[in-house]
C-alpha cells in the first residue's frame, strides 16, 4: 500500500471521504469506456470502488454527468457542415445544414469555430464520444 489507512473497530475506513467533482467523474468514466480497458484497473488507479465507476457510467450514459456552470448546463456551440472551399477564396459563406436522416454517399465535413477563434475541421464519419472529448479539451475554461 502507498499509505496507511485508518480503520475503525469493525475494519471499515474511517476519516473523511474524497468527493470528486463532475469533471473528475467524467474523466474517469471516459477512460473506462476506452475499448480494452478494465473498469477494475481504472478504479484502482483512481482509488475508487469499481461499483462506483459503474454507477458513474450509468449517469454518464443518461446524460446526468454534464458539466454545469452556476447551476446551468453549458450549451454546445453551433456546428455547421462545411463544403470544400475553392483554393482562391478564404472565407466563403456557409449555410447552416441539419444533419441528414440517412447516410449519404458523399464525403461530409464538420467545422467548429470556437469563441477564441480556433477552428476544428473533421472530414468523414465522426464518433460522437471522441468529438465530445475533443471539444471539451479545446473549449476555453
If the chain, 141 residues long, is cut into consecutive pieces of 10 residues, what is the mean pLDDT of each piece? 69 78 93 94 94 94 76 62 60 55 63 75 79 75 59
Q: What is the pLDDT of residue 72?
A: 57
Do 10 and 44 lie in a common domain? yes
Are 13 and 5 spatial neighbours (Cβ–Cβ below 8 Å)? yes
pTM: 0.42
For residue 105, give its domain range: 77-138
**Measured between alpha carbons, how far is 82 from 29 in angstroms, rounded to an integer?**
32
Could you tell me if 8 and 66 lie in one domain? yes
pLDDT at 32: 94
pLDDT value, residue 2: 54
d(CA 51, CA 44): 11
pLDDT in the model for residue 120:
78
The radius of gyration of the chain from alpha carbons, rounded to an integer in Å, stands at 21
- pLDDT, residue 124, reads 78
Q: Are residues 103 and 65 both part of a single domain?
A: no
24 and 81 in a common domain: no
Amino acid at each position: 500500500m502507498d499509505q496507511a489507512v485508518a480503520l475503525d473497530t469493525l475494519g471499515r475506513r474511517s476519516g473523511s471521504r474524497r468527493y470528486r467533482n463532475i469533471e473528475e467523474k467524467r474523466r474517469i468514466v471516459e477512460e473506462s469506456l476506452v475499448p480494452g480497458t478494465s473498469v477494475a484497473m481504472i478504479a484502482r488507479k483512481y482509488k475508487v470502488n469499481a461499483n462506483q465507476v459503474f454507477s458513474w457510467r450509468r449517469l454518464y450514459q443518461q446524460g446526468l454527468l454534464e458539466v454545469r456552470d452556476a447551476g446551468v448546463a453549458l450549451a454546445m456551440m453551433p456546428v455547421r457542415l462545411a463544403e470544400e472551399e475553392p483554393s482562391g477564396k478564404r472565407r466563403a459563406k456557409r449555410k447552416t445544414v441539419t444533419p441528414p436522416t440517412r447516410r449519404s454517399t458523399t464525403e461530409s465535413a464538420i467545422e467548429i469555430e470556437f469563441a477564441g477563434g480556433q477552428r476544428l475541421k473533421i472530414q468523414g464519419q465522426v464518433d460522437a464520444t471522441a468529438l465530445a472529448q475533443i471539444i471539451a479539451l479545446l473549449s476555453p475554461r
